[in-house]
């Protein structure tokens, strides 16, 4: 029985954080809990993906292992993967071949350490932040670690010594490097608003000034698309394009080494969803109330905010799967042109616009608050209409060939008819 | 760049990627909530057509003997040459099959044997679960053919061409 009344009395936003031994115990506990939830979540996500894909295709999905819901399907998959034969291609470079799945897996796990998933928990010994490591550079840490994930994929492609695997690895490196820039740039407006890179302060700023998705929709859009590309999910799954590259970078892998790649993909999905929630959907902020950011903190608020956080997280995970079974894969040139010719200029322009707007608002003497937020939201609405309704005319995803005007087309036809190939055809 | 590719100026609905995406997502979401069409196979079985042509069945008389009179029409008409028939004759002069074997692997399930049979003895079966542990298991002898109990195929009736 938890002494709820006693805990409620301890609720106090000014309560100092825990120190010493309690901090150590609390951190270890949080690590264990987060790791367990995270791994079970990744496993259940494989089931969710199969279920939702089945439903979208008017099927039932896995429903044999563990009752009608097929709840034990991930466990059955895990057992199967452990019992399969580990194969090593003759020509593979063994050390990197073994290391690559681990390198893909670890960054996906590490990122979660800095994501706040609930309001601070007040206890008798002090305030416990609902984040494994409350890093002052939280956001930069996420960017740094998430860009490490590409090494696992590239090394897997190279060490396999297989042309398809190598192509997959190459594509992945090109894709991830291209989209990382847009990903980073799209978050600059968020940081401009928050004035801080700590994820907790970004959450608090949103709790106070409205969710960033309302004020910075374009940044959210760029982040969303770039996050899809970063996690190699459809429509950006070119590194493992089945129809072209067999299975891309993990063609030569078997058993649990293979399984680590999908697990890290799902883990990355969870992390990217958590980042979207934290940066643009208020993190653990309870919607439609202002109470959570002024305190007092209580056990109930912590529980509620954790639940809210996970509800938002689940929505984005569903969104990932939903998009996967809606959109076909991009062509490689479309991927590159979207990244470099649309997203990056848009992100850069957006930074300039938001920075200017913030400076103007400051110069006009408008304080952070309802007025500030509503001006930003109104400007945002105008920008959304301009970009999505007026600019979106075959420019977001363009065809491979350029649009040719009548005069240029006639000139090209003239050139073609004068070529030796054409005259030979006429003879 | 292909120089002869003609680029049409399409209407905005066709070239707006955002609109197309949202349209597609609405469609997939509708399917998500739609009724599922899968037949849950081992528990729930598909209602097969009365004209389904599956593995054969030999009908028997009231005394339990095969109706076959070893006339030899079915091995003659069989396009896959999968019926092996050796006729025999008893003391009263009644012909009966000494050996009647159908190789279900060679059979193309055309149904000619059933159509040609004057005694309505050999029939195609309305049946599709035919697994065996060996290839030899698919050569059905007379005993196997008479022992089958599944319903038999109703042949197509030219007078009622659209009927079942």
Interhelix angle A344-363/A370-384, rounded to 10 degrees, is 150
Could you tell me if A82 and A257 are in contact, meaning their C-beta atoms sit under 8 angstroms apart? no
Of the candidate ranges A7-11, A17-21, A298-302, B45-49, the one whose mean pLDDT is the lowest: A7-11
Cis amide prior to A237 (ω within 30 degrees): no
Return d(Cα A269, Cα A227) in angstroms, integer: 8
Please check the confidence at residue B151 and state whether its pLDDT lies above 60.
yes
Q: Which of A52, A58, A327 sits opposite B24 (nearest CB)?
A: A327
Mean pLDDT confidence for A81-92:
86
Q: What is the pLDDT of residues A225-259, one digit of tens each?
A: 888 888 888 788 887 777 788 887 888 888 888 88
Decide if A109 contacts A269 (C-beta within 8 A).
no
Only one residue has tokens 């999505």, namely: A388
- For the stretch A40-56, pLDDT in tens is 888 889 899 999 998 99
CA distance to partner chain B, nearest, from residue A6 (Å): 46
Element (H, E) at B57: strand B54-58
Q: What is the pLDDT of residues B96-144, one digit of tens each?
A: 888 899 998 899 998 888 889 888 888 888 888 888 899 888 898 888 8
Is B17 in contact with A392 (Cβ distance < 8 A)?
yes
Encoded tokens for B133: 């542990």
Higher-confidence position of A64 and A389? A64
Q: Which positions in chain B touch A399 (Cβ < 8 Å)?
A: 7
- Looking at residue A401, its pLDDT comes to 47
Q: Are the beta carbons of A380 and A216 closer than 8 angstroms?
A: yes
pTM for the complete prediction? 0.78
Helices A94-110 and A149-159, axial angle in degrees (round to 10): 160
pLDDT in the model for residue A299: 75
Q: Predicted confidence band at A12 (pLDDT cuts at 50, 70, 90)?
A: very low
CB contacts < 8 Å between A and B, how many?
65
Rounded to whole angstroms, the Cα distance separating A69 from A72 reads 8
Cis peptide before A296 (omega within 30 of 0): yes
Q: Which of B3, B12, B32 sits opposite A52 (nearest CB)?
A: B32
CB contact under 8 A, B21 and A326: yes
Query: What is the rounded CA–CA span in Å between residue A337 and residue A179?
Result: 11
pLDDT surpasses 50 at A7: no
Helix/strand/coil for A127: strand
For A11-41, b where at least 16 C-beta lie within 10 A, e where not — what string? Answer: beeebeebeeeeeeebbeebeeebeeebeeb
């Amino acid at each position: 029985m938890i002494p709820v009344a006693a805990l409620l009395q301890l609720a106090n936003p000014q309560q100092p954080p825990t120190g010493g031994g309690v901090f150590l115990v609390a951190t270890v506990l949080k690590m264990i809990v987060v790791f367990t939830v995270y791994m079970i979540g990744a496993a259940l996500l494989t089931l969710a993906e199969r279920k939702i894909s089945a439903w979208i295709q008017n099927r039932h999905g896995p429903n044999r292992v563990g009752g009608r819901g097929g709840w034990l399907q991930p466990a059955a998959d895990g057992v199967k993967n452990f019992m399969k034969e580990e194969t090593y291609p003759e020509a593979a470079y063994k050390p990197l071949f073994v290391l690559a799945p681990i390198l893909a897996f670890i960054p996906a796990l590490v990122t979660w350490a800095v994501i706040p998933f609930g309001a601070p928990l007040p206890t008798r010994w002090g305030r416990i932040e609902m984040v494994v490591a409350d890093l002052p550079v939280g956001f930069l840490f996420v960017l740094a670690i998430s860009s490490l994930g590409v090494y696992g994929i590239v090394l897997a492609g190279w060490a396999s010594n297989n042309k398809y695997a190598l192509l997959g690895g190459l594509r992945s490196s090109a894709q991830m490097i291209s989209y990382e820039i847009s990903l980073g740039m799209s978050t600059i407006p968020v940081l401009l608003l928050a004035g801080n890179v700590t994820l907790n302060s970004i959450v608090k700023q949103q709790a106070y000034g409205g969710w960033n998705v309302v004020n910075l929709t374009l940044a959210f859009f760029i982040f969303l698309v770039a996050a899809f590309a970063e996690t190699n999910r459809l429509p950006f799954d070119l590194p493992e394009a089945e129809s072209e590259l067999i299975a891309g970078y993990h063609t030569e892998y078997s058993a649990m080494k293979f399984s680590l790649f999908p697990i890290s993909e799902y883990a990355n999905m969870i992390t990217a969803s958590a980042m979207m929630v934290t940066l643009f959907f208020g993190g653990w902020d309870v919607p439609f109330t202002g109470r959570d950011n002024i305190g007092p903190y209580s056990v109930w608020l912590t529980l509620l905010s954790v639940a809210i956080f996970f509800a938002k997280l689940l929505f984005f995970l569903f969104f990932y799967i939903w998009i996967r079974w809606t959109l076909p894969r991009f062509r490689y040139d479309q991927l590159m042109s979207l990244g470099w010719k649309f997203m990056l200029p848009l992100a850069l322009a957006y930074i300039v616009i938001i920075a200017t707007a913030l400076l103007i608002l400051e110069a006009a003497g408008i304080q952070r608050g309802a007025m500030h937020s509503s001006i930003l939201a109104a400007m945002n609405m105008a920008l959304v209409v301009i970009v999505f309704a007026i600019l979106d005319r075959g420019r977001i995803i363009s065809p491979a060939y350029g649009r040719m005007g009548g005069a240029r087309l006639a000139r090209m036809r003239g050139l073609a008819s004068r070529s030796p190939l054409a005259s030979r055809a006429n003879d | 760049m292909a120089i002869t590719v003609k680029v049409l100026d399409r209407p905005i609905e066709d070239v707006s990627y955002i609109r197309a995406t949202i349209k597609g997502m609405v469609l997939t979401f509708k399917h998500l909530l739609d009724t599922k069409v899968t037949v849950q196979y081992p528990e729930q079985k598909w209602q097969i057509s009365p004209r389904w042509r599956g593995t054969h069945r030999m009908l028997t008389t009231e005394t339990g003997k095969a109706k076959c009179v070893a006339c030899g029409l079915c091995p003659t008409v069989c396009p896959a040459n999968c019926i092996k028939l050796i006729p025999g004759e008893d003391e009263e002069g009644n012909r009966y099959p000494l050996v009647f074997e159908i190789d279900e692997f060679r059979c193309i399930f055309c149904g000619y044997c059933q159509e040609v049979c004057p005694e309505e003895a050999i029939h195609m079966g309305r049946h599709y679960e035919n697994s065996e542990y060996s290839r030899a298991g698919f050569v059905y002898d007379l005993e196997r053919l008479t022992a089958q109990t599944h319903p038999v195929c109703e042949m197509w009736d030219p007078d009622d061409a659209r009927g079942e």
